[in-house]
Each structure stands twice: as C-alpha cells, then as structure tokens.
Structure 1
C-alpha cells in the first residue's frame, strides 16, 4: 500500500459502529482503514499513525488479550479503545474488568477530570452515549481515570506518559455532542503529515457502481424509500437509463395508497422503465401462520427474489443481468454482515437467497458503505428533489414487520424482574409499593417548571401548582421486540407506564425513568407510555398473524397518525406498530415510535406535545378495532427503531 496517505487503523471487533468510527475519522480529514484484528500485522502497524479499537458484541476474553498483546503492547503510537476496545486495552495493560453489573444504554452524563488530554477544551460535564454491560473496574498501573459517571466509575482513562486512551462511551455517534472534538483531540496526537480529502461522493459511488455492473443489465427492486430511489439514480448515471430496469412489488404490506403514490411520484420525476407487480396474494399466503419475526423477514426476502426471477424470465433478459439493492451500512451491520458482528435482525436484503447471489457476484449495492445521512447527501449531489429525500424511511418488508404476531401459545405468567421493578420504583417514590397487585408498581415524581409550554401534559396549565406530585404506574407487557444492547441482539419485553391521577412529569423525568428501567431490568428492552389510565385494564395475547384485516386496521392507524404528525420536521421516522394485545372489548393496542436520528445507528425519542398525544390516543379509536395507543420513549440503543 505505498500510495496510502498517513492514516489511522480502526480494528473491527464487530461493534455496530466500527465503520462509523472510520467514517467520522475521514470526516475530520484523516484517512482511515478498517482492519480485522487478526489481520493487523507488523506491516500495517508500521504504516499506521494511530490505532482505534472498536466496540464489540462480546466480553473481553484471554484470547482477545493474547491476540492483541503481540500486536499492540509494543506499539509506540497513539491508541484509543472505545467500549469493548476500552475494556480490552485496560485488561491488556493489567487492569481489571467487571461483568454485567451496571448496564448503561443511551444518554449518560459524565464528569471529566481536570487535565484529561482528550477532554481538553471541552465542558467538564457533558452528555455521552453508552451501550455496554461490562466495564473497567480498576485501571492499570500507570493509568488514571479521566472521566466518570454516577454508575460508571471509569467512563474514560488515559495512560500517564503514553498516548493510550479508553472511552467506555461512543464518541463516534451524533448523540455524543462533543464526540467529534474528542476524536479530533486524539487525531492531533497522531503524526498526520498528509491530510486526507475525499473526492466528491457522487463520482466515487457512480464509478464503483459502473465497475461492479460491467456489461450487465441492472435490475432494481424499488420500494419508494430514499435508499432505493438514490440507488436507482446512481445506476442511471453509471450505465445509462437503457440498461436499468426497475420493479416495484406491491406486497400487500405497504402503507395506505403507497404503491400507487410511488408510481405517480416516479412518473412525475421522469423515471422510466419502472413496472409494478401486484403480489399481495402470494405474500399473504406465504406469511399465513408465521409469528417469528426472523422467519417473516426470511420469507419476505425469499419472495422478493422469487418475484424478481419470474419477472426476469418474462422479460427474457437471459443471464446477463445483475440485481441492484439499496442496502445501506446499518442493514449490513444489523444482519451480522461483518466478521465479528452479532446479528440483530436479518434484513430482507440479506436472506440466504440474496447472499448466494452476492457470493456469485450477481448483486450490485451502490450504497452499502453509506449511512442514512450520507445517502441523503448523495441524493442532493445527484439532484433528487428534497421532498423525496425527506420521506420517512420505510422498511422493505413493510407492515409485515410492524404487525407483531403471536402463535396463540400461553403468555408468561409473571416476570422475574417484577420484584426488582417494585424496588426501583419504591426507591423513587420513597413509599412502600402496593402488595395487593403484583403486576402494578407506583413511582412519584415532582412536576417541574419545564412542563409549562408546548410539552405540557394535558390538563396542566401555567397556573397549576408546581409542587404537585406525579404518580406513575408500570407493568411489563407479555409481547417482545428486538433491541440492540451492548452491540448484541436482545429480544425482550416492553414496560408500559401510565399516570392514574392525570398529571405527568416533564420529558426529562420521563427519559430518566425509561433509562433507569431499561438499564436495571433484564426482562425489558423498551419503555412505552400510555395517556389512558390502565389500572383496571387487562390485556390478553391473541393469536395474530399477517392477514388482510389486521393489515387494513394498521394501515388506517398508520395513515391517521402520520397525517397528524407530518408537520413536525424533527421526527426522522415514526413507525406505527400493531401489537397482538387486546383489551376486554377486543380492541387492539398500537404503538407510535417517533424518533430523531441522522444515520439510523442511534436515535433519540421525540418529546411530543402531550395535548397532541392525547388527541392521537382519542382519534385512533375511530378506527374499527383500534384501542389503546402506546408511545415508545426508548432511545436506540437499547431499542431498535423498528420493533422487529
């Protein structure tokens, strides 16, 4: 590699953000390489100006230490460990780790030690993004703690006299506000004499797509989402419109009027060679009786391939064609698509049938190394209209993964974490929990002045007494959803919280409640709130599968909710989810999951106006069969944006 500029190596231990680290480093003007740990040899070490160890889904083992001792112990240039990498460096140099005691997922406040080098010029107290179960209990000899939080004594450390640093949190994600400055301070210690400047993203991606296409005709499945439409425009620029064919598959899993809207939109924007396949009957037949979310995703991905092959036979294109997918990097990561990564969920573009085509060189993925924010930037470079780029992301499997299913088996009779839930809430309330209803617990929080204004809970005017107490109750629900915790997949329950007396705490208190519950209760990976008083409501699990009646109900709820929140630009995506939970009147529970994000790797909760949420909770009952509305207040991590 004689022509490489000065660079930093990112060792990929399989964390969700390994390539994001490399992306952020390049954005700061330093070239970066992503390397598997076992491939980091003496030649690479000699050329590297510094090394960053990524996070990972596993715990540090002696094998990891032995592997890296040969490669890093004598490495005299700057080292930075992040999350798993932070723990690995600590153990490598003689520190001690502890396992699974104080889990942290999402935003955390840390306090920096005076003189800590990576934190130079930054606030003493700052918010960072955590996602870990294990932690450093004692730093190695010759190291010192550089930052700590209330529940993590060693949030950061540094070596005395050497450029070795560890961060338990993730500086590379946008939800660590000063993360870019931290990385910049580290890079300043690396001897970079040839700063790196990227070529225009547009030309680079178009050239790579042209090379991957060769002489083949490109066939693209267009969902109507940002990713597939940007991929389509890249292909047109790469090989010309005459060699690009597009197919939109109406799976019957689309939002209300989605397929027809997509075709009208594409026609108006001048896209050609786009056809539609009405395949609702096929998809619903194959999904009948399937409850497992991974099986649903696999079936949907396989059916896309079957429809594609049937259409190719009808078009008589022969063998000289390649499939184009709008896969972006988070899809690859969550599907366990790098060597050390854990599978969070299998995306429909990574099912075995697709993987076999990838292995045979029959798949072109122009966006596979890009994040969602970069896809939108590329779309702007390509001249696509802003209205298209601002569309809320919609998953390829559509409503098939937003209609949660249940096979009719008995639900759990209780949860091991319920006593712990009571103890946590008792500590917050300062009063003994009720003993007569084991599934209900109570917590009291003072209403604060931040409630006055647009985020005010219903019924609390500016003249309301600030000293009133808000009483919240909670219950673990018997459904499960996918999450990502410590770079690993979780499949756990949500806890629902409500206020039987009416007044609610402000959003800071609600966010703190959600973080505390998810971090300390192993049974759950999400927290939702409900403005209805659920004290006397009993939910039952019912046998539920992907079928037309349930999809139509979800379509109506989804359409109503999205029309009412369409004016809020801060909401990046807002899945509406149907749960297999029904009240005594047979009304189904739904979830609204609005998030704020930039790259889909992390996400914040949108603090909705409580009056608007009250209106939404009331209005969805106009949809036949729709009942209680839950509002998801879980960050990513620990909850993925989609529930399945």
Structure 2
C-alpha cells in the first residue's frame, strides 16, 4: 500500500488568514502537509520528519522585539524552507539580513519581475497578490534576489545552496497568477515530494486505519445528513460493515423530505444500519415559548445529546463514538488551547457528550480539509447533490425561524425553502451561490389572494457568494428568477403573503439571521 504520509511538508503558522489555504494548495498538489503553531520546539518538528517547511504570513512585524519566531534550529535541519510574506521577513531577520517598515504599504495586485534563473520562479513577469507593510532591505549572507517589484526590490530571495527561499507575495491565493506553479516547484522539485495524497489513497488509508483501531468492537455514529457525518458513515460502512450503527435523530427542524432522503441514501441504497428517531414533538415541546437565538441553540443541542445518549445505551456492545471532525476543526481547537492565535471556536462535534458514556473517539476525517472530504465522498459513491449541498446549521430551521419555534412555522418554512432550492437548481444559480436559504419572519403582512384580503406571514430569501465565509456578498440573482420564486411561494405555500430578498453583505450582517 502507498504510504500517503511518507512525503510531507510542515507549515508553521504565524497567524495569517491564508494559512489554511496554503495547506489546501499543497494537498491539492498531492502532498500531505500539516499546520502547526510557529513555536513548536525543534525536537517535535524533527520527529515529524518533514521534507520541507513553509513559514506562513502573519499580522506581526519582525521590526519589533518579541515578535513570533520559529525555532532557529530549523535552518540546521538540511531541508528546504520557504517563507511567505512574514515568513520571508523571519528568514531575512534570523539569518543576518535587514527588514524595515516600508514608506508605502502594499495591498492587492502587483507586478513581479524575475531576476535571472532559479528553480522556484521561472515566469519572467507575473501578477501577484501582496499584503505587507514591511519589506526586506538587506539580504542575509548567501542569498540572492530572484524577483523584484516596484515597491519591494527584494521581493523574492533565495539561497539555492541551502534550498532556502522567500517570497513577499502570497502564491497560495488565486490572485497570484503562477502561485500554484511556485508551490508545486517547491513541493515536488525542491523538496522532492511525490504525489501520494489522492482520494483513492486516502480512502484506503482511512479504511485500514479504522479497522486496525476498532478491531471487532462496535461503533456508533450520529448521522445528521450533513457532508461530514455522511462521508464518515460511508467510509466506516466500507471499513467495518455491520460493526457500525448510525443514529439519525429527526428533530423536526430539517428541510423538506430530508429525513426520508437520509434513510433512502444510507439504509435502503447502501445497506447501512441506521436507527431513525422521530423526535419532532420532543424538540418542539422543549423549544415552546423560547425566542432567544442562543437559548434555542442550547436547547436543541441538549435535547439531541439526551436522545443520542438514550439510544446509544440500547446498543450493548458499542465501544466507539465516530464523529465527523475535520482538519480545520482540529486546527481551530488547537489554536484556542495554545492561546497563540485568536479563538475561532471550541470544537465539540456532538455537543458535550456525558463522560459517563465511556465511549472511545473515532475521527477518520480529522486529517482532511472540507474539499478533500467532498472528493472522497464522491469516490465512495455518495450522491453529488448531498456532497455539494450548501452549509446547513446544526440547529437546523430552529435558527431560521426568528423568535419562537412552532410546527406551523417550520412546515411553512420547509415548503418555501424547497421552492427556493428548486428554482436555484433549475436556473443554475445553486452552484453559483455559496449558501442560500429561506427565513421565516414571525410578522404578518396584508396581501390579496384572488379577490380576498389575506393577512399572513413574511419569508425572507438569503443567498450569498463567498470564498471563506468570513466575508460575503449578496448574490445578484436575476430579477426574473426572484420574481418566479416569489410568485411560486406566495401561490403554493398557504400562510405566506409576502417574500423579501436580503441584500445585506457580511459585514455588517451575518450570513444566518440568528
């Protein structure tokens, strides 16, 4: 079997917003990599046995004292090192060069020209993406300039004898014209890594790892119908078959026909053992009278855990709990524990399971980015529509119904949302948007249905385009499509008298309404 971890690159993170993107780009080149905090000690780094190291960008400045630095011994490991933006400045400052604040900060597109020949950057001229306020002003001993820009004469530097390279721009972003080629040359040509990280190899590795870890024990999985849990279910079914039992809690807050679709995909077509728990009334009873968004989230999470615990106790030989934890979750949790980066979230996939369950944790996707999870899901035969679905919040429609959650509201919202999705798919706009959904507003508006006056509820439609979900712009869906969606919802969904379209960006608005 191919060892998918034999050729690997270590990325040391200095807090750049693009660090995870560097990791994704390297893996897209077929090379396994991991992202670690910059301050890991040298023995830990050596034990990883990387074939190369990438130093990420970051918000700090090397011109100040006590700013982030990697272990100085990495430069004695005899392996290639690539510094990006702040990483370049670290290399220059630590190896005897000079870095100073620039009179002119550089953010956005810039033209870079190559100086002579080198193994990293071969295109004579290229447009790149800059984001820096400092620049290298004097080369460290042994280094030469390999590229320059109008604002940064030492825009890219290299010590080819030691395979140390640094670039002031960001090759990992799509705005950099030949960024992929630069990262490929570093990973494949300079570091000598093969292309072992592929969907089929990942699947085989995950299957063998899961079998070795679990043995003959039984595994339970909370199946939500989302991408991550669905891929875990398919992967573990392939690995351990009848040793897997999935628990699907239908909380009555799913999209139209979603519960039936989950059962059809896994239980009927794939032969996965799935226990379906119809808990709609229990969730609605617990949510009755509550209108605070955070309180609703906590209620839904608590009730889910209670039901999951009750059902899991019925499976006598269960020893493992499988979760759809993916690599960004691991990175974010690690960052919050070290205190070296801003806390993004504390990751708990199932939501605070009681310690008394005494189940061991199985996380077969914990090394994968979201796009890799999608690729192996397709390779495992899951429907493309399921794999490429837009994000759906854990509390489901509970946070897309503003205020108190009632069955009447959920039923109305389900129908309106289904029409919205149908029309987006039919027009090709589902693939053009990153997230789209309907929101139920608990306010009534006067309307006219036929010759009669109506006084019914309002639905808002939300569709956004985004790359990283940190910022988003509202999707400019053509008016004729919006008009058709509105007409269908008002005509076909009893209880709706008005449809609005949300044109708020993020920031200042969030993507979800609650």
Q: TM tier, shorter chain?
A: 0.7 to 0.9
Aligned residues: 479
**Cα distance, 1:246 vs structure 2:** 1.5
The SS at the match of 2:249 is strand
User: What is the Cα deviation at residue 52 of structure 1?
Assistant: 0.7
User: Structure 1 residues 630, 37: CA separation in 2 closer, same or farther (over 3 Å shift)?
Assistant: same
Give how far 1:8 is off.
3.2
Tell me the residue number matched to 1:630: 502
Q: Cα gap change, 1:164/1:629 in structure 2, threshold over 3 Å: closer, same or farther?
A: same
3-state SS of 1:139 partner: strand
Kindly state the Cα deviation for residue 122 of structure 1 after the two structures are TM-superposed. Answer: 7.4
Q: 1:70: which partner in 2?
A: 72
Question: CA offsets per residue over residues 589-634 of structure 1, 9 Å max, x none?
Answer: 624225476x989989766434323444565555515442124666
Unmatched runs of 5 consecutive residues or more in structure 2: 447-455
Give the whole-Å Cα distance in 1 for the aligned partners of 2:256 and 2:301: 21
Measured in 2, the distance between the counterparts of 1:316 and 1:158 equals 60
**Is the alpha carbon distance of 1:371 and 1:5 closer, same or farther for their aligned partners in structure 2, counting shifts above 3 Å?**
closer
Tell me the residue number matched to 2:453. none
Give the one of 29, 52, 55 matched to 1:53.
55
* Residue equivalent to 2:316: 317
Cα 1:86–1:604, aligned 2, differ >3 Å: closer, same or farther? Answer: farther
- Aligned partner of 2:392 in structure 1 is 394
- Deviation, 1:369, is 1.9
- C-alpha separation between the residues in 2 aligned to 1:83 and 1:145? 15
Alignment-derived partner of residue 248 in structure 2:
248
Distance in 2 (alpha carbons) for counterparts of 1:138 and 1:41: 27
State whether residues 145 and 154 of structure 1, in contact with CA within 8 Å, keep that contact through their aligned partners in structure 2.
Answer: no
Note closer, same or farther for the CA distance 1:49–1:391 as it changes in structure 2 (3 Å cut): closer
**Structure 1 residues 107-506: aligned runs within 5 Å:** 108-115=108-115, 118-121=120-123, 124-125=126-127, 135-142=132-139, 157-159=155-157, 163-169=164-170, 171-172=171-172, 178-187=178-187, 190-192=190-192, 195=194, 197-198=196-197, 200-241=201-242, 243-287=243-287, 289=290, 291-293=292-294, 296-313=296-313, 315-317=314-316, 320-333=318-331, 339=338, 340=340, 342-345=342-345, 349=349, 351-353=351-353, 362-403=360-401
1:217-250 Cα offsets, whole Å, 9 max, x none, are: 1111222233322211211222222x21112111
For the 8 Å contact 1:173–1:602, the answer to whether it is kept is no
Superposed counterparts of 1:71-90, under 5 Å? 71=73, 78-82=80-84, 85=87
The SS at the match of 1:252 is coil
Question: Residues 7 and 327 (structure 1 numbering): CA distance in 2 closer, same or farther, change over 3 Å?
Answer: closer
The structure 1 residue matched to 2:460, chosen from 590, 599, 614, is: 590
Matched, 1:613 2:485: no
Q: 1:303 to 1:41 in 2, by over 3 A?
A: same
Asked if 1:561 is matched to 2:420, the reply is: yes
Query: Contact (CA 8 Å) 2:461, 2:501: kept in 1 or not?
Result: yes
The answer to whether the aligner puts 1:11 opposite 2:12 as a matched pair is: yes
Which structure has more relative contact order (CA 8 Å, sep 6+)? It is 1
Q: 1:186 to 1:226 in 2, by over 3 A?
A: same
Moved more, 217-226 or 177-186: 177-186
**CA shift in 2, pair 1:374/1:251, >3 Å:** same
On the 8 A contact 2:84/2:169 being kept in 1, the answer is yes
Deviates more, 1:376-385 or 1:52-61: 52-61
Q: What SS class does the counterpart of residue 247 from structure 1 fall into? A: strand
Partner of 2:320, secondary structure, is strand
Aligned to 1:21: 22
Q: Cα–Cα, structure 1 residues 121 and 361, in superposed 2: closer, same or farther, change >3 Å?
A: farther
C-alpha contact (below 8 Å) 1:591/1:631 kept by paired residues: no
Report if the CA contact (8 A) 2:409-2:440 is conserved. no
Residues 249-269 of structure 1, C-alpha deviation per residue, up to 9 Å, x if partnerless? 111221123213322343441
The 3 A distance-change label for structure 1 pair 344 and 195 is same
CA deviation after TM superposition for structure 1 residue 53, in Å: 1.8
Instruction: State the alpha-carbon separation in 2 of the partners of residues 178 and 303 from structure 1.
Output: 50
The CA distance in 2 between the partners of 1:556 and 1:79, in whole Å, is 55
**Residue 202 (structure 1) shift:** 1.6
TM-score (norm 1): 0.61
Aligned CA distance change for structure 1 residues 614 and 81 (closer, same or farther; 3 Å)? farther
Determine helix, strand or coil for the equivalent of 1:557: helix
The answer for the alignment partner of 1:416 in structure 2 is none
CA contact (8 A) 1:591 1:632 kept: no
Equivalent residue number for residue 436 of structure 2: 575
Q: Deviations over 1:410-435 (max 9, x none)?
A: xxxxxxxxxxxxxxxxxxxxxxxxxx
Q: Counterpart of 2:138 in 1: which secondary structure?
A: coil
Maintained 8 Å contact 1:301/1:349:
no
Looking at structure 2, the residues matched to 329 and 20 of structure 1 have their Cα atoms a distance apart, in angstroms, of 12
Q: Does structure 1 retain, via aligned residues, the 8 Å contact 2:37–2:335?
A: no
Please report the RMSD computed on the Cα atoms of aligned residues, expressed in angstroms.
4.6
In 2, Cα distance between the equivalents of 1:166 and 1:142? 13
CA shift, 1:335, in A, is 5.7
Pair 281,398 (structure 1): closer, same or farther in 2 beyond 3 Å: same
* Structure 1 residue 179: Cα displacement: 3.1
Q: 1:225 to 1:573 in 2, by over 3 A?
A: farther
**Does the CA contact (< 8 Å) of 2:420 and 2:485 recur in 1?**
yes
